[in-house]
Structure 1
Amino acid sequence: MNTTRLLLAALAAALVGCQTADTTAPAPKAAAKAAPKPAPAQYVFYVGTSGAKAPGILRCVLDGKTGKISVPTVAAEAKSASYVALSPDAKFLYATAEAAEGAVAAYAVEGDKLRLLNTEASKGKGPTHLVVDAAGRNLVVVNYGSGSTTALPIKADGSFAPATSSIQHVGSGPNAGRQAGPHAHGVYFHPKNGRAYVADLGTDDIFIYRFDAEKGLLTPNKPKSGRVTAGEGPRHLAFHPSGKFAYVNTEMGLNVVAFAVAGNGGLNEIQSLPTLPAGADKKGVSTAEIFVRANGKTLYVSNRGHDSIAVYAIALDGKLTLLQHMLGTPATPRGFGLSADGRWLVCAGQKSGTLNAYRIGQDGKLTDTKQSVEAAGSAAIVFVP
């Protein structure tokens, strides 16, 4: 009997010892964070140009360490290629083109050159901005002169088929000199909901369209638009990568307007901030370009005439806080572009005829590298991803 009890007691003690050993075992180490990717040795970007001295579509290379920009080479001779966009795979480039009633041009990327595939009518006057859908199957272009939006299918070889949808905008604004009628100025696909958003400077609307990618069909959304304060003139737009927020720069109002994007695609204003420093002279000044950094933490807006770029921090609720005014940009900074990794910004000075490189810090602020090259008529920039 005593022997049995002793054996049971010994067994119980052994079990307790095992449990104690298990509970004191060292916890597995947390997985180490992946090291940030090293910066590429170089970045390639294209420049759209316009005006009497514009040579066509330019190709440049930026040094990933110094920001030095190569002397631009003419990738394709073209007239009025004031805005350019790449296909998602960067095998094709699309540009606005000069024609009696407006046109767009498709190019194949072949080394450091662009080969013209074809042109198609934009179904309006003065095409000024365009965008390719995420699948690379459609292009949407807006016509500033006639105030309209047009969709064109993209064929497997990268060329255009004739337009499948075109919508004429209707409306006006209180600025008689700039808003006597509609002037569609920028078009953007939402990163999540598939809708196309068009900033119309003439009507103060951001028109919203449902888009059927299979049919290339644009149809008005419900609600049909978001709006800025009358007379401000929305020019361009940038979505937050989450799709929850949209930011619009007003050309005449000199503001950046933040919107929350609703489930039905609608835009609800949450904030409006000036793009100029307090007390700055507004005469002859207008905003031009706007982009959100890929990490969604900072936003950039250029001011023509004041020749500056306003930098804002983006909070989790989508609201903005001014971080910096980068002064002394190239004269009349009509366009700029951000590298896909968010390390570089290149600004195009339409009046100065130069391209300038800015390093983007971890906090989103810009540092002027003092690297600049001549590029006559430069108006828009797109980096190769």
Structure 2
Amino acid sequence: MSTTATIAVGSYSRSGSGRGSGLELLHLTQGDGTETGEGAALTVRRGPTVELPDPSFVLWSADGSLLYAVLETDPTRVVAVRVAPDGSTAELVADLALEGSGGCHLAPGRTAGTLLVADYGSGTVETVRLDADGVPVELIDVDHHRDLGEDGTPHPHQVSALPGTDSLAVPDLGLDRVFLYRQDAEGQMGLVGEIPLNRGSGPRHLAADHESEQLHISCELSGTIATAVRRPSEHEPGTPPVLRGSSHRWSVRSVIPGSRTEGENALSHLELTADESMLLVANRGPGTLSALSLTMMRPEITSEIAVGAHPRHFTQLGQLVLVAAQEGDRIDVLRRDGDELSVAADPIPAPSAACLAVRP
């Protein structure tokens, strides 16, 4: 018995020494090893490509018919690609220019029919309206982080819905804070709170458990993982009105290194495993992926494995972990067995791979 999954790969084509073509589809087939009595074999078939400048993050629509990508351009652009059910064709159906620059992440909005975009370059968060077919058609809101801090240059790096709440979280690498938003019925974003981190942390990405009782934050500049916990809010006198809409407050409970390796480490992406017992973290200093147990009061590294240079992003496919190694020009294929990581197959060549997404 074998299973096939389609993986979207976004690769840098212009930034720095970008060597990729833009978007590419890969079809991964994994056997269960029952016919040979050996471990599961993995075969890769390359699908269509779409030439685009510097897609920095990719996202599938809920039904898997459309692939969205944000382009790290000036201005930022959001594109949509329609993919055939069998993955044999990919057609660009929308290319929408926004107001911000340096787009680095996009996510579904809380309000149906919207996409949210984080612009690293301009320090903005933008809201895009989708039509009835899910195609991006209009920019409807722009929130500027430059008005939220006296020190530092704003660099929002991700937008993420917090499960079990009505909030959205935006880690800002330049302002050392995670900003909390709500989205109204019209799709407009409103600030309702924030989580302050130590100066120089550089929060990049975050991962919350299914009720957002714990929030794990990868801090790129300090090479650490900050874990914040959520409690009912008790607003103190003098709290700005804009922040009084939050029903919870957050406090950082622990800060630990993302790697056992000495030296500088610029953390990138992190994710929880499906059962939320483990946290996976990519380390761009030593070029490793760490697995951390969450059974103790604070995360604890149980396994760390070498991958290609500059692991910028990764995604999970069952027990497999696929790691986009941007400067290694490859996708590492790992397996997670409990709290241990191992190599599952040879790396897949992928020039300047920056981001990955498994088709639903």
TM-score after normalising by structure 2: 0.86
Give the structure 1 partner of residue 240 of structure 2: none
State the Cα distance separating 1:159 from its structure 2 match.
Answer: 0.7
CA distance in 2, matches of 1:173, 1:273: 27
Which of 340, 344, 347 matches 1:369? 344
Contact persistence 1:88–1:136 (CA under 8 A): no
Q: Which whole-Å CA distance do the structure 2 matches of 1:95 and 1:126 have between them?
A: 13
User: Are residue 41 (structure 1) and residue 3 (structure 2) matched?
Assistant: yes
Name whichever of 155-164 and 107-116 sits farther off: 107-116
1:126 to 102, 109, 119: 102
Structural mapping, 1:165-314, within 5 Å: 165-170=141-146, 180-212=152-184, 214-221=185-192, 224-263=193-232, 264-277=247-260, 280-282=262-264, 285-314=265-294
Q: What residue is the counterpart of 1:325 in the other structure?
A: 304
* Structure 1 residues 234 and 99: alpha-carbon distance in aligned structure 2, compared to 1, 3 A threshold: closer
Shift in Å, 1:136: 5.6
Residues 271/69 of structure 1: CA separation in 2 closer, same or farther (3 Å cut): farther
- Indicate how the Cα distance of structure 1 residues 265 and 161 shifts in structure 2: closer, same or farther if over 3 A, else same: farther
| Secondary structure in 1 matching 2:139 | coil
Larger Rg: 1
Q: CA deviation at 1:207?
A: 0.7
| Partner-residue secondary structure (3-state), 2:42 | coil
Equivalent residue of 1:301, what SS? strand
> Unpaired segments of 5 or more residues in structure 1?
1-38, 175-179
Q: What amino acid is aligned across from residue 46 of structure 1 in structure 2?
A: A
2:235 corresponds to which residue? none
- Residue 117 of structure 1 contacts residue 158 of structure 1 at CA under 8 Å; is this kept in 2? no
Residues 186 and 290 from structure 1, CA distance in 2 versus in 1: closer, same or farther, beyond 3 angstroms?
same
Q: Secondary structure at the match of 1:182?
A: coil
Which position in structure 2 is the counterpart of 1:15?
A: none
Letter of the aligned partner of 1:359 in structure 2? R
Query: Is the helix fraction higher in 1 or 2?
Result: 1
The Cα offsets for residues 290-331 of structure 1, whole Å up to 9 and x where unpaired, read as 1111211111111113001111112386x32221111x2011
Distance change (3 Å), C-alpha of 1:288 and 1:316: same
Give the match for residue 360 of structure 1: 336
Q: How far does the alpha carbon of each residue in 1:63-94 deviate from its partner, in whole angstroms, 9 at most, with x for none?
A: 32336351543432211112101122222111
Compared with structure 1, are the counterparts of its residues 134 and 164 closer, same or farther at alpha carbon in structure 2 (3 Å cutoff)? closer
Measure the CA separation in 2 of the matches of 1:79 and 1:315: 42
Q: Percent identity?
A: 22
Residue equivalent to 2:237: none
Name the CA distance, whole Å, in 1 between partners of 2:329 and 2:27.
17
For 1:220 and 1:46, the matched residues in 2 are separated by 32
Distance in 1, matches of 2:133 and 2:60, equals 14
Q: Which amino acid aligns with 2:203?
A: P
Q: Give, in whole Å, the separation in 2 of the partners of 1:295 and 1:135.
A: 27
Structure 1 stretches of at least 4 aligned residues deviating more than 6 Å after TM superposition: none
Whichever residue aligns with residue 152 of structure 1, its letter is: V
C-alpha distance in 2 between matches for 1:99 and 1:321: 38
The aligned amino acid for 2:9 is V
Q: Is the 8 A contact 2:230 2:250 kept in 1?
A: yes
Answering whether residue 45 of structure 2 is matched by residue 62 of structure 1, we say no
- Deviation per CA, 1:195-223: give whole Å up to 9, x if none: 111011000010110112x31110011xx
Q: What is the match of residue 157 of structure 1?
A: 133
Secondary structure at the counterpart of residue 255 of structure 2: strand
Could you say which structure has the higher strand fraction?
Answer: 2
Following TM superposition, by how much is the alpha carbon of 1:99 offset from its aligned partner in structure 2, in angstroms? Answer: 4.7
CA contact (8 A) 2:114 2:128 kept: yes
Q: Does the 8 Å CA contact 1:67/1:371 hold for their aligned counterparts?
A: no
Q: 1:82 aligns with which of 56, 62, 65?
A: 56
Query: CA, structure 1 residues 141+237, in 2 after alignment: closer, same or farther (shift >3 Å)?
Result: same
> 1:40 & 1:246 partners in 2: Cα distance?
36
- The alpha-carbon distance between structure 1 residues 68 and 134, as it changes in their structure 2 partners (threshold 3 A), is farther
- Residue 60 of structure 1 aligns with an amino acid whose one-letter code is L
Could you tell me the TM-score, scaled by structure 1's length?
0.81
Aligned to 2:322: 346
Q: CA deviation at 1:190?
A: 1.2
The one-letter code matched in structure 2 to 1:196 is L
Segments of structure 2 that go 5 or more residues without pairing to the other structure are 32-39, 233-246
State whether residues 199 and 205 of structure 1, in contact with CA within 8 Å, keep that contact through their aligned partners in structure 2.
yes
Contact 2:303 2:339 in 1 (8 A): no
More off after superposition, 62-71 vs 189-198: 62-71
Aligned AA for 1:306? P
Q: 1:281 to 1:79 in 2, by over 3 A?
A: same
Task: State the SS of the aligned residue for 1:209.
Answer: strand
